[in-house]
Chains A and B, each alone.
Chain A
Amino acid sequence: MSDTRVDSAKGFSVESLTANPRQARKERLIRDSLGATALVSVLISGLIIWSLFSEAWTFMVEVDWGSVWDIGWFPRRGIYDIKTLIVASLIVTGIAMIVAGPLGLGAAIYLSEYARPGVRRTLKPILEILAGIPSVVLGFFALEWIAPNVVKTLFGGPAAGSLLAAGIGVGVLVVPLVASISEDAMKAVPMSLREASSGLGARKITTTIRVVLPAAVSGLMAAFIVAVSRALGETMVVFMAGGAAQTAVYTHDPLEGSLPLTAGMTSLARGTDSVVGEGLTFQSLFFVGLLLFVVTFALNVVADRFVHRVREQY
């Protein structure tokens, strides 16, 4: 059959359908170099994890584990009380989310459901500019304004740095993040669902709570996760306004000063002499880094599972 076909079309063979070898080589080259760029990012991630792990491993092997559960964080004296850092981190993140959750979600609901187009066009870019404020500026703001005006006046805390001041500062920092991602998620909910709801006699707030928010839940969850990760990883604000430098005694009182994970790392890494302390000081830096990595990673996994379970597909 194929014989007759080839015969009938003179000079027509597999060769006439074969790609130009130069073209094919070029195509392969493009594919391989693009693959290589993807590989590089994987490689870098791997290297980071490896360097983190190897030094942290040294720490874990050589440390006296009794010093990891002690009265506070005094790395240069060989006291590495991890719970001091973790509790401080959790308090700061918790406070930040208490501030940023309602503010961010409220702003998102207003922008997506209530604001007239003109208002939205003005407010959204302003919100996004807010996200670009350097965290060192917000650190100053937390120390110089939030601490004396909010923490001292409202909560009777110190006018200097405290976990509460740092938490509120970080909260302000992540509000635009929460608002922006949540608003995108809510805008992505089809108009037809809002119409269906209004058509059934639902008020705007009912439509928002019972239709738009459930349909946008995966995006809202994403906003929440990104915000928590950002708050956990935020360094400058907590270091400046956290009310402790270099060392901290364990506390779970937000009105006192303490060192969250990132602030602990900063004080360790700061200056040339800081990390040359006794024994494992240098390695403890990596151990804390590893902890931060594990916490953030676990959070992402849990949240991902959650999103898959509760999300309403549309």
Chain B
Amino acid sequence: MEQAEPEASPRLGLDIDRTMQAAVPNSTGDTVFEVEDLNVYYGDFRAVQDATFTVYEHEITAMIGPSGCGKTTVLRCFNRMNDLIPTARVEGRLDFRKVPIYDPRVDPVEVRRRIGMVFQKPNPFPKSIYDNIAFGPRVCGMAKKKSDLDDIVEQSLNRAALWDEVKDRLKDSALGLSGGQQQRLCIARAIAVDPDVLLMDEPCSALDPIATARIEDLMQEIKNDYTIVIVTHNMQQAARISNRTAFFTAQLDSITDQRCGLLVEYDRTETIFSNPSDERTENYVTGRFG
């Protein structure tokens, strides 16, 4: 499984730098998430069926697949965001750094402080740029002094490559920013609380290609410090930025007669795109999905 084909898929015109893939900077090979037989239900409806895979430290893990395949649902399990939906129920094992985060003793708030999230649509608070970034540190009681908070805001905006564009208008409303800027603001806001992991749910789907490229560059820069899990509809994006890819698909559940998300294949990204072992993966990545 770990042996990938030496060449990138010529059909997609992908140019994956294999040396970069092999030597992930700062990679300790430590596992961040271990998922085993994960099932997610919304009421009686099973959204995800028996997903098993592992997310490694300082890597970008992409989750791809057609709509309704449960990839966003799985992503939202990682920081217990599904708890916000009253009918959602999670079964199976999901360990974050060897700790089962669905243990009854675990407080989801503590989980979310360590695992940040960036959403599909930029969702800045209707507050100033400064207050958006300062929200998390304030809530978590990270800054004792105003100057500490100022530092956190500047650092976070710097890391999100937004500081130069907004440093003169920190007191202006965040809603005055462009869509791409808003999404970088949301990334800055997420990293302001210094999380261990960053979950990204189709962070570029509402952005134009230039803004998308900036976010992708940003992800490459910050992955030295964070572990990133990203859901994307864009296969090229997954191929460009991720180290590992999980391919999900929706399949008819023979018992309930409902469509249910299924993890088909999980491997190194170049393997998924050039030499997948499952036919469904190959059909999807080559555009012959059916």
Enumerate chain A interface residues (CB-CB to B < 8 A): 116-117, 190, 192-203, 206, 210-211, 214-215, 312-314
Of the candidates B116, B126, B135, B186, the one whose C-beta lies within 8 Å of that of A197 is B135
Contact A201 B110 (CB under 8 A): yes
Contact A196 B123 (CB under 8 A): yes
Which interface class (under 10, 10 to 19, 20 to 34, 35 or more) fits B? 20 to 34
Contact B126 A313 (CB under 8 A): yes
CA distance A196 to B124 in the complex (A): 8
Which chain A residues lie closer than 8 Å to B42 at the CB level? none
Binds A, one of B2-10, B79-87, B256-264: B79-87
Which chain A residues lie closer than 8 Å to B124 at the CB level? 196
Most B CB contacts (10 A, CB to CB) among A116, A202, A211 go to A202
Closest to B137 in A: A200
> Nearest 7 A-B pairs (CB), nearest first?
A201-B113, A312-B126, A199-B117, A200-B136, A192-B123, A314-B126, A202-B139
Contact B193 A200 (CB under 8 A): yes
Q: Is B140 an interface residue (CB 8 A)?
A: yes
Which chain B residues lie closer than 8 Å to A116 at the CB level? 86
Closest to B114 in A: A201
Of the candidates A192, A193, A200, A215, the one whose C-beta lies within 8 Å of that of B112 is A200
Q: Is B219 an interface residue (CB 8 A)?
A: no
Total residue contacts A-B, CB cutoff 8 A: 74
A9 to chain B, nearest CB (A): 44
CA distance A75 to B124 in the complex (A): 59
Which chain B residues lie closer than 8 Å to A201 at the CB level? 109-110, 112-113, 136, 139-140, 193
CA distance A206 to B109 in the complex (A): 11
Most A CB contacts (10 A, CB to CB) among B136, B139, B140 go to B139
Q: Is B190 an interface residue (CB 8 A)?
A: yes
Contact B116 A200 (CB under 8 A): yes
Which chain B residues lie closer than 8 Å to A198 at the CB level? 81, 84, 109, 112
A198-B81, A199-B79 known, 18 other contacts, Cβ within 8 Å: A192-B123, A193-B123, A193-B126, A197-B139, A199-B190, A200-B136, A200-B139, A200-B189, A200-B193, A201-B112, A201-B113, A201-B193, A202-B136, A214-B127, A215-B125, A313-B126, A314-B126, A314-B175
Closest to A189 in B: B126
CA distance A313 to B119 in the complex (A): 20
B257 to chain A, nearest CB (A): 26
Kindly identify, within residues 97 to 128 of chain B, every residue whose CB is under 8 Å from any CB belonging to chain A. 109-110, 112-113, 116-117, 119, 121, 123-127
